[in-house]
Structure 1
Amino acid sequence: TFSRKAHSWLSDKLTDCLFNMSQNVPSALGSNQVKVQVKACALSPLDLKLHEDLKLQRDLVPVGREIVGIVLQVGPKVTFFQPDDEVVGKCYSDFCVRSPVQKPEKLRWVEVAGAIRDGLRAYTALHTLARMVSGHTLLVLDGASPFGVLSIQLAHYHGVKVLASALSSEDQKFLEQLRPSVGVRESLVARVIGVWDTKVDLVDSCLEETGGLGVDIVIDSGVRLHEEEPEARCLLPYKHDIITLLGVGGHWVTTEQNLQLDPPDSRSLFLKAASLSFLNEEVWGASSARQGRYLHIMKDIVEKLSTGTLRPQLEDPVPLYDATVSMEMVQKKQVRKRLVIQL
């Protein structure tokens, strides 16, 4: 929840960032730098608390960070790109795009920009943290979210059995009809668990589907830390339920920054030899030692987009004059699909 002052800052910051994209780009390039004309950028929620913890100045927090564009100019030591190349990247400051990669020509600007963040999160959760392999069983909580859909598509591609929870009857219908764009037209989700229905029990459904063994990987979209929480969080799973449905040697990947485990919960994880990881895709910008793996992930994302393996859930493109209102909606979590500004 943000105050009126915070929303005013957010609006001003978005306007400044978009203006900087087209007007205030530094004229002199460094030896290893590339100047890019932005064609589309995705709007993703800002974690202002994270930037405060890292003691970053608010003036350096970029908005609309997942970008796609055309190379205008390259530095003298740049060998991988030439002017007029189409590239994909993610900004970590007002002007810095970390290690862009080539965009296949047939992909639309909006489609690529809308898949960068959720694709990066899906790869981080499933490959880097959970060590996903063929034959695993995965539970994706809130599977109809943009992040959930790409996680389902990526897991199914690698031969993982996918279970997903639905927060509404509309989400359930959408997930049940989710099919791959290529290959056998089987459902991507082996079972959709409609947690919106009070008669449906998440734990019982997962244990029934796995013969009582539990799932190998769980990716949550938030967790209830207490039995009684605000109505907006009532459909989130209770932390004890996730531990209960997790199998021996399982991996729980959480997006809950303030997760607190009681000693009995820790004991249950210990008895199952299970692991708990925190999903923070911003970690790729924290160390140059991970640049090679980050580049591999980005290249694989655009490759799977070009083959239709990954298909992001997008709203209609947003024109520049509607960007501020759209960003406020994203920050307040009032949209279900990914929003992209088309420049």
Structure 2
Amino acid sequence: MKGLYCRLGQTDADTKFVIQEMSLPANVDSHQVRVKMKACGLSPLDLKLLVDLGIQRDLIPVGREVAGVVLQVGSLVSSFHPDDEVVGILPLDYPWSGLCDVIDVDEHLLVHKPEKLSWICVAGAIRDGVCAYTALHTHARMAAGHTLLVMDGASTFGLLCIQLASYHGVKVLTTSHTPEQHTFLEKLQTSLARVIPVFEGSSDLLSDVLEETGGLGVDIVIDTGVRLQEDEGSNGNRLPHKHEVISVLGVGGHWVTSHQELQLDPPDCRLLHLKSASVTFLNQEVWTASTVQQGRYLHILKDIMEKMSSGILGPEPEEAFPLQDATVVMEMVQRCQKKSAIVQF
């Protein structure tokens, strides 16, 4: 059985993705199910996080968003039966690659896949779906009547945030990074209060938000990264500056950020204090890195599948790559040439 693994080098440039032969045990553990893979999502490896958690191996498994069919169940498994269709996210310390033909997975990491959903759809959306739930429900505590600003609404994560918030009666504003994204967002069936263009030569984010909210600001901001300096990055026009984000927040607002190394200067903190606003960090690995709230995590996975099946959540379909292209595609994902990718078996 072959799988895709990451072999670490002395530098990031030396890191390679390799196909490695692995073997499963003869018998399935009592609480595990043996699953034949149908599709697997690829996302960038956070090598620094693995070091922080003490997960250090010569070969790091690649491909953790998995979808497949149950072949065999352990003696104590109660949630699944052979031929069940399942989907889930493998934990950070999982020993096998999700790109293997067959893997053994703990039953408490999987949920049933609705029959009407495709393998590609669920494997490509489950990670961003969990992130959207975590940002809006766990961190921001959204409620009907709130106003939300989603940065980069055309991304899979942004689109799911928009759809989930709209379903719960939240007024949603979002930003577009290109004219094509702007047209796509304006044509969404999900009603948006405003699509704010932030590409070169477009309108001002702060003035547009204040105009739309009557000068009050928004209750929630969800970003996909921010600039710490005015001239930071070659694509700085696509990311909002941290002071812009704080400025668009209303009194008692919540800022949910994906920026791992956010630094706030005293004037930024003063402005947050004046608004009695808060900042929380969105760590997409928090549920699989800890089992403290495993039941809640499984509830989130089940709800994502139910809402996707009913059409409430509908990510844009992604192109699926064949298994033989997995190494090349993963290198592109790791170098941020692609945000994510899906491999179909």
Same fold (TM over 0.5): yes
Structure-1 residue corresponding to 2:38: 39
Amino acid corresponding to residue 341 of structure 1 in structure 2: V
One of 5, 9, 17 as aligned partner of 2:15: 9
| Equivalent position of 1:325 in the other structure | 328
Deviation at 1:26, TM superposition (A): 2.6
Q: Which runs of 5+ in 1 are unaligned?
A: 181-186
Q: Which amino acid aligns with 2:186?
A: E
Secondary structure of 1:231 counterpart: coil
Q: Are the equivalent residues in 2 in contact too, given 1:43–1:330 (CA < 8 A)? A: yes
Q: Residue 113 and residue 35 in structure 1: after superposition, are their counterparts in 2 closer, same or farther (change >3 A)?
A: same
The 8 Å contact of residues 186 and 195 in structure 2, kept in 1 or not, is answered as yes
Q: Which structure shows the higher strand fraction?
A: 2
Is this contact kept in 2: 1:7–1:328, CA < 8 A? no
Report the counterpart of residue 99 of structure 2 in structure 1. Answer: none
Deviation of 1:5 (Å): 5.9
CA shift for structure 1 position 339: 2.0
Query: Hey, what's the Cα distance between the residues in 1 that align with 2:276 and 2:186?
Result: 33
Distance 1:147 1:7 in 2: 28
1:205 aligns with 2:208: yes
Give distance in 2, aligned partners of 1:124 and 1:62: 25
Give how far 1:271 is off.
1.4
Q: Does 1:126 align with 2:159?
A: no
- Residue 252 of structure 1 aligns to a residue whose secondary structure is strand
Cα 1:73–1:87 change in 2 (3 A) is: same
Match of 2:114 in 1: 104
* CA deviation after TM superposition for structure 1 residue 28, in Å: 2.3
| 8 A contact 2:38–2:67 mirrored in 1 | yes
1:5-84 mapped onto 2 (5 Å cutoff):
6=12, 9-12=15-18, 15-16=19-20, 20=22, 24-59=23-58, 61-84=60-83
Whether 1:135 and 2:145 are equivalent positions in the alignment is: yes
Shift of residue 3, structure 1, vs aligned partner: 8.8
- When the two chains are superposed, the root-mean-square deviation of aligned CA atoms in Å is 1.9
Mapping 1:192-231, distance limit 5 Å: 192-231=195-234
Maintained 8 Å contact 1:129/1:253: yes
The reply on whether 1:94 has 2:116 as its aligned counterpart is: no
- Displacement of 1:27: 2.3
| CA gap 1:103/1:59 in 2 versus in 1, 3 angstroms | farther
Tell me the TM-score normalized by structure 1.
0.90
Q: Which of 154, 162, 165 pairs up with 1:144? A: 154
Deviates more, 1:323-332 or 1:295-304: 323-332
- State the TM-score, normalizing by the size of structure 2: 0.90
SS in structure 1 at match of 2:320: coil
Mapped to 1, the partners of 2:143 and 2:12 lie a distance apart of 43
The question of whether the paired residues in 2 share the 8 Å contact of 1:88 and 1:112 is answered with yes
Shift of 1:314: 3.3
Which residue does 1:183 correspond to in 2?
none
- 1:304 pairs with one of 294, 303, 307: 307
In the alignment, which residue of structure 1 is the partner of 2:337? 334
- 1:225-244 CA deviation, whole Å, 9 max, x = no partner? 01111212332111011111
Point out where structure 2 has 5 or more consecutive residues left out of the alignment: 1-7, 97-104
Tell me the alpha carbon deviations over residues 145-191 of structure 1, each in whole angstroms, 9 at most, x when there is no partner. 111111111111111111111111111111111114xxxxxx3x211
Asked if the contact 1:314–1:339 (Cα under 8 Å) also holds between the matched residues in 2, the reply is: no
Q: Deviations over 1:9-52 (max 9, x none)?
A: 3422xx33xx54xxx22322221111111110011121111112
Rounded to whole Å, the distance in 2 between the matches of 1:101 and 1:53 is 29
Letter of the 1:202 counterpart: L
How far apart are 1:68 and its partner, in Å? Answer: 0.4
Could you tell me how far apart the structure 2 residues matched to 1:118 and 1:330 are? 15
Find the counterpart in structure 1 of residue 100 from structure 2: none
Per-residue CA deviations over 1:232-269 (Å, capped at 9, x if unaligned) read 23321110111111011110000000100011111111
Q: Report if the CA contact (8 A) 1:62-1:91 is conserved.
A: no
The amino acid of 2:314's aligned partner reads R
- Asked whether the equivalents of residues 255 and 278 of structure 2 are also in contact (C-alpha less than 8 Å), the reply is yes
Q: Which of residues 154, 157, 160 is equivalent to 2:164?
A: 154
Instruction: Return the alpha-carbon distance in structure 1 between the equivalents of residues 15 and 46 of structure 2.
Output: 14
Residue 115 of structure 1 aligns to a residue in which SS? helix
Moved more, 80-89 or 312-321: 312-321
Distance 1:59 1:174 in 2: 43
